[in-house]
Amino acid sequence: MPDGKSILMYNSWALSKSAFVKGEQCVKYLYLDKYKKQEKTPFSKETLELFDKGHSFEDMVRDNGFPGGVNVKDVAGNFGFFNSYTQYLLQQPGRQVVYEATIIEDDVLIMCDILVKNDNGQVDIFEIKLNSSLNEAIQNDLSVQYLIAKKRFGDQLSTFNVILRSDDEGQAWTVSNLKNELEPNSIETDKKINLFKNVLADGEPEIAMGDHCNKPYTCMFIDYCQKRGIQN
């Protein structure tokens, strides 16, 4: 199989999954993260350590449960090429295991931790979370992933799974197919996607600070908003 680099095409997008998750927390967070990155407070040492743990867990799941996959990030280099390289890999005959499989539909970019295209063309997607249980933030994250994957694959999408850390002895992770649970969120998620695209096309929203600044995540623009003094 050629490495596919010669067919890479640059694709752009308006919204990413991580931008969607920020918009769920606060539309101003979404806006600032796109247009005022220089105002961000850097991640704390603790947060960076947590990211490292998450990446180690992902690697462990991939190596032990889904070995031999192609990592789109390692080959395609630039985000703009990830979608076309993923398409190239999925056009190859036989079973394909793809890490960081990237999909752009409706101007929304998502990256799937593991995507398996089976011999019969059916697709299984696996999102890996270091958490041992689902929470609202993870469900929002999974809802947009599922919707965009469904738009790309339609009936070819066989399962959409979350892999969570397991604290049980002898079992490092659990796998749950959430396709049926996530399907009812699709209409609402679609509406939010349109709302967030409109936010990004408008000026900076005026949002007062409040509990949402630390829930579910600590916003990286707290210093910026405090300096500007819009408080509840």
- Site residues (CB under 6 A) for ligand SF4? 25-26, 28-29, 32, 207, 209, 212-213, 219, 221-222, 225
User: In this structure, what token pair is assigned to residue 85?
Assistant: 């390289």
Angstrom distance (rounded) from CA 161 to CA 71: 19
In terms of Cα–Cα distance, which of 215, 225, 230 is closest to 24? 215
Closest distance to ligand SF4 from the beta carbon of 89 (Å): 37
- Helix/strand/coil for 166: coil
Beta bridge partners of 60: none
Task: Pick between residue 53 and residue 228 the one whose CB is nearest to ligand SF4.
Answer: 228
Closest distance to ligand SF4 from the beta carbon of 13 (Å): 22
Task: Pick between residue 151 and residue 212 the one whose CB is nearest to ligand SF4.
Answer: 212
Task: Pick between residue 187 and residue 208 the one whose CB is nearest to ligand SF4.
Answer: 208
The alpha carbons of the chain give a radius of gyration, in whole angstroms, of 18
Task: Pick between residue 32 and residue 97 the one whose CB is nearest to ligand SF4.
Answer: 32
Closest distance to ligand SF4 from the beta carbon of 228 (Å): 9
Closest distance to ligand SF4 from the beta carbon of 229 (Å): 11
- How does DSSP assign 59-116, residue by residue? HHHHHHHSTT-EEHHHHH-SHHHHHHHHHHHHHSSS-EEEEEEEEEETTEEEEEEEEE
Task: Pick between residue 197 and residue 212 the one whose CB is nearest to ligand SF4.
Answer: 212
In terms of Cα–Cα distance, which of 71, 72, 85 is closest to 6? 85
Task: Pick between residue 79 and residue 224 the one whose CB is nearest to ligand SF4.
Answer: 224
Closest distance to ligand SF4 from the beta carbon of 190 (Å): 23
Closest distance to ligand SF4 from the beta carbon of 215 (Å): 9
- The Cβ of residue 32 has, within 10 Å, a number of other Cβ atoms equal to 22
In terms of Cα–Cα distance, which of 226, 169, 196, 157 is closest to 26? 196
